[in-house]
Structure 1
Amino acid sequence: MEKVNYCECLDSLLPVRDALDLISGKWKIQVIISIGVGNHRFSEIQRSIPTITPKVLAKELKDLEQHRLIKREILNSYPVTIQYTLEPYADTLTPIIQSLKEWGKSHRKKLFALT
């Protein structure tokens, strides 16, 4: 087996780490999925994700906006309404989320088959 040098390894690890830093954690993917299925207001997103607190949701929304995955829009209405939508760039996560979903289903079957 050919030994991979240090630089080649970093070329693979750094982009993966960057991606995982963005989408890892308990909530970010769930927030993206919630907005993607049509929950655009803060309260709708919060209701769709059991146990997320308003403080955590606000932080996750801000992080996703900074990474240009979602857009925060203030609507000219009374009372003022804030709406969240996915940026087109978020569509690049669709195959990743789908793969994670399929892997998760398969993994659950494997785990529960062992018990």
Structure 2
Amino acid sequence: MLAKGGCPKTMLSISDALEALEGRWRLLILFALSGGPKRFRQIAREVPGITDKMLSKELKSLEAHKLIRRDVYDTFPPTVEYTITPHGLSLEKVLDELHYWGLAHRKKVIGK
């Protein structure tokens, strides 16, 4: 159920959430990482259509919002792995609901 409009605290919290998750890629990256830690190339393969430049930018933003963690291992060359944080995992219900809404929306708009 949607909260009643006009509540400044509700508007602020929605605005904060949208800032952390804005754009077409961040939720898809989080979904890709929900299966476990991945390296940059693995994420790029799992998120179709994203460029390396955009992936790099979005990973930095997700890290700044504490939704993912970047681990650098002392190997040659250095190994970098990205992991979803517990804070990022707290979006599981949001991703599930978006998935179900997307299925219903596709059916209603496209008919498939």
Q: TM-score, normalised by structure 1?
A: 0.86
Q: Which amino acid aligns with 2:24?
A: K
Aligned ranges for residues 74-113 of structure 1 at < 5 Å?
Answer: 74-113=72-111
Greater Rg over alpha carbons, structure: 1
SS at match of 1:74: strand
Q: Which amino acid aligns with 2:10?
A: S
| Greater relative contact order (CA < 8 Å, ≥ 6 in sequence) | 2
- Are the counterparts in 1 of residues 34 and 89 from structure 2 also a CA contact under 8 Å? no
Residue 48 of structure 1 aligns with which residue?
A: 46
Deviates more, 1:8-17 or 1:87-96: 8-17
How many Å separate the matches in 1 of 2:43 and 2:94? 21
Residue number among 55, 58, 63 corresponding to 1:57 in the alignment: 55
Q: Deviations over 1:20-51 (max 9, x none)?
A: 11112110001111111236100110111112
Q: TM-score, normalised by structure 2?
A: 0.88
Residue 21 of structure 1 aligns with which residue?
A: 19
Count of residues in correspondence between the two structures: 109
**Cα RMSD (Å) of the superposition?**
1.9
Q: Deviations over 1:59-108 (max 9, x none)?
A: 10000101111000011222210000011111110001101111110111
User: Gapped runs of 5+ residues in structure 1?
Assistant: none
Q: Which amino acid aligns with 1:27?
A: W
Q: Which amino acid aligns with 2:19?
A: D
- Are the counterparts in 1 of residues 36 and 84 from structure 2 also a CA contact under 8 Å? no
User: What percentage of aligned pairs have identical amino acids?
Assistant: 37
Higher helix share: 1
Residue 7 of structure 2 aligns with which residue?
A: 9
